[in-house]
Amino acid sequence: MGLAMTSIWWKGEFNEEFLQGELRRNKKVVKELWERYSSFSSFAGWYIPYEIGDIYSRNDETRVLLTEFIAELTAFCHQTSGGKPVAISAYFSGELDPAEYGDLWKKIFASADIDIMVLQDGAGSHLLSLELAMRRFAALKRVCESEGIKLWSYLEIFDQIHGWPIDSKPREVVTADLGKVLEQIDAEEEYVDKILCFEFSRYMSPQQNEASKRLYEDYMRFYKGELKR
């Protein structure tokens, strides 16, 4: 069950007042969601939508504030629901090398009792090559295994063709083709327990557009064994 989120987060201007406000708001959301939906068997756990990138590690004070925020929100989710698992997503931009990236999350996990880490592969936004991205997956896998945390992947099924870091034009993305998606699956499956896609509704739903429909149909043909690599 996803919690509340604000677009202000993406400005990256974190301070204690802002984070405490978000914490109070989400505690109310957690209590309301639990009261309304806890009886449903499909209520598998919680998703904290505040994504943390390696760019935030530049400042130790910011890292500590974010860690405390995530730790308290995670603990509240666990306490409210009797231990239902809590997932969070993260991304990387190359600010840290693989070892440093793993160390960053080791420090965060030491305080925040996260159950599932969903790491974005970045293949759609082209911040790093798939090879460099997998070095960070490998580093985080070692950390997650040592901490008893499940590591999942957010496989980006879009392909950015304009905008930073590619060029100075307005950001533009299109649906990726099946060949690219299969390359990502092949690269990631050895590091993760599960692969999720980002995101089906915009880039793979057959109701969205022709490109999304084509990816959906191609993938289903591949899944059924009707289409070879």
Please give the chain's pLDDT, 229 residues, in tens.
Answer: 999 999 999 888 899 999 999 999 999 999 999 999 999 999 999 999 999 998 877 788 899 999 999 999 999 999 999 999 999 999 999 989 999 999 999 999 999 999 999 999 999 999 899 999 999 999 999 999 999 999 999 999 999 999 988 999 999 999 999 999 999 999 999 999 999 999 999 999 999 999 999 999 999 999 999 988 7
CA distance 57 to 32: 33
What are the extents of the domains in the chain? Answer: 7-198
CA distance 111 to 107: 7
Contact (Cβ atoms closer than 8 angstroms) between residue 154 and residue 196: yes
List Cβ neighbours of 60 (8 Å cut-off, separation of 6 or more): none
Helix runs in the chain, H state only: 16-37, 60-81, 98-111, 130-147, 178-188, 200-203, 210-223
CATH architecture assigned to 7-198:
Alpha-Beta Barrel (3.20)
As a whole number of Å, the CA-based R_g of the chain is 18
User: How much is the pLDDT for 51?
Assistant: 94
- pTM (2 decimals)? 0.94
- The residue among 166, 3, 146 whose CA lies nearest residue 80 is 3
User: How much is the pLDDT for 192?
Assistant: 98
Contact (Cβ atoms closer than 8 angstroms) between residue 130 and residue 165: no
User: How much is the pLDDT for 55?
Assistant: 80
DSSP 48-97: EEEEEEGGGGG-HHHHHHHHHHHHHHHHHHHHHHTS--EEEEEE--SSS-
Segment (H or E) for 120:
strand 116-120
